[in-house]
Amino acid sequence: MTAILVVEDEAIVAEDIKNSLQIKGYTVPATASSGEDAIKKAKEFNPDIVLMDIVIKGEMDGIETAKQIHSLLDIPVIYLTAFSDEKTIERAKLTEPFGYLIKPFNKRELIVAVEIALFKHRLEDELKTSRKFFESVLESIVFGIWVTDKNDVIRYANSGVGTVTGMNPEKIIGMQIFNDFNEFIRPYYKKAKESRRPFYFEAVPFIDPEGRQNYKSGWLIPRKINTIFDGMICTIESIPRYSQMDETQD
């Protein structure tokens, strides 16, 4: 059953919110009136969501309290407040809230906000889980994989890129293909981008960090939304016969 922590410094309001939630089948394991108490009870009960008033008792206001709860426990927060000025809203936005209800609000608005927040948080959890899964798969692949966005900037590179090229994968993230990356691969990248079709490149020279030239092959696979270019998936691996030739010459 979904558990909700209510943080509200007015006891009557807190009880009314608690009753409204319980009528709809939610549990309210605790209420809190200060930031310090809210953090303590969030750790104790680990609720599914926190309803947070911005003006509460204690040294911390609701925004600072929400920030700490989010960083410690990753629990979604909905703000309940009578303040809607731009400065307050901008501060609140920095804590990535899942909702913002302006007082006075009715019971239906409250329940809808809770349901939407729970749905959004569930989707985020599923996306995080999927991302971790696919990243673990990509990291286990022996050859290199790097991905660009629609502006041809590298946004991801697996550890295989480092194994194959000798370059630090973290350092190539943020590189712009046509300005910063290996110049020999740019024509092939451009061809794949313009044709919107996969392109296989072979015997493209790369210079490793020690200054030695070796040769790589791989695929450039455009990503598309409808027919609009949205980036490139690129694989890269060594060509044994060229690598052996270079070693012999050295």
pTM above 0.85, yes or no: no
Higher-confidence position of 244 and 103: 103
What tens digit of pLDDT does each residue of 186-233 get? Answer: 999 999 999 999 999 988 888 777 777 788 899 999 999 988 999 999
8 A C-beta contact, residue 162 and residue 151: no
Q: Which of 238, 213, 223, 230 shows the shortest CA–CA distance to 161? A: 238
Helix/strand/coil (H/E/C) assignment for every residue in 189-219? HHHHHHHCCCEEEEEEEEECCCCCEEEEEEE
Q: Which of 29, 35, 33 shows the shortest CA–CA distance to 49? A: 29
8 A C-beta contact, residue 196 and residue 220: no
What tens digit of pLDDT does each residue of 114-160 get? Answer: 999 999 888 888 887 777 777 777 777 778 999 999 999 999 999 88
Looking at residue 45, its pLDDT comes to 95
Residue-by-residue DSSP string for 46-98? --SEEEEESS-BSSS-HHHHHHHHHHHH---EEEEES---HHHHHHHHTT--S
Looking at residue 240, its pLDDT comes to 62
Amino acid at position 3, single letter? A
What tens digit of pLDDT does each residue of 73-112 get? Answer: 989 999 998 877 888 888 888 888 898 898 888 999 999 9
- Does the pLDDT value for residue 243 go beyond 60? no
Q: Give the CATH number of domain 3-136; options: 3.90.550.60, 3.40.50.2300, 3.40.920.10, 1.10.620.20.
A: 3.40.50.2300
Q: Does domain 141-249 have CATH number 3.40.50.300?
A: no
- Does the pLDDT value for residue 19 go beyond 80? yes
- 39 token code pair: 């953090």
Looking at residue 32, its pLDDT comes to 95
Each domain of the chain, given as residue ranges in start order, spans 3-136, 141-249
Q: Helix %, strand %, coil % for the chain, to 5? A: 45, 30, 25
Under DSSP, the state recorded for 166 is -
Please check whether the two domains, 3-136 and 141-249, share a CATH topology: no
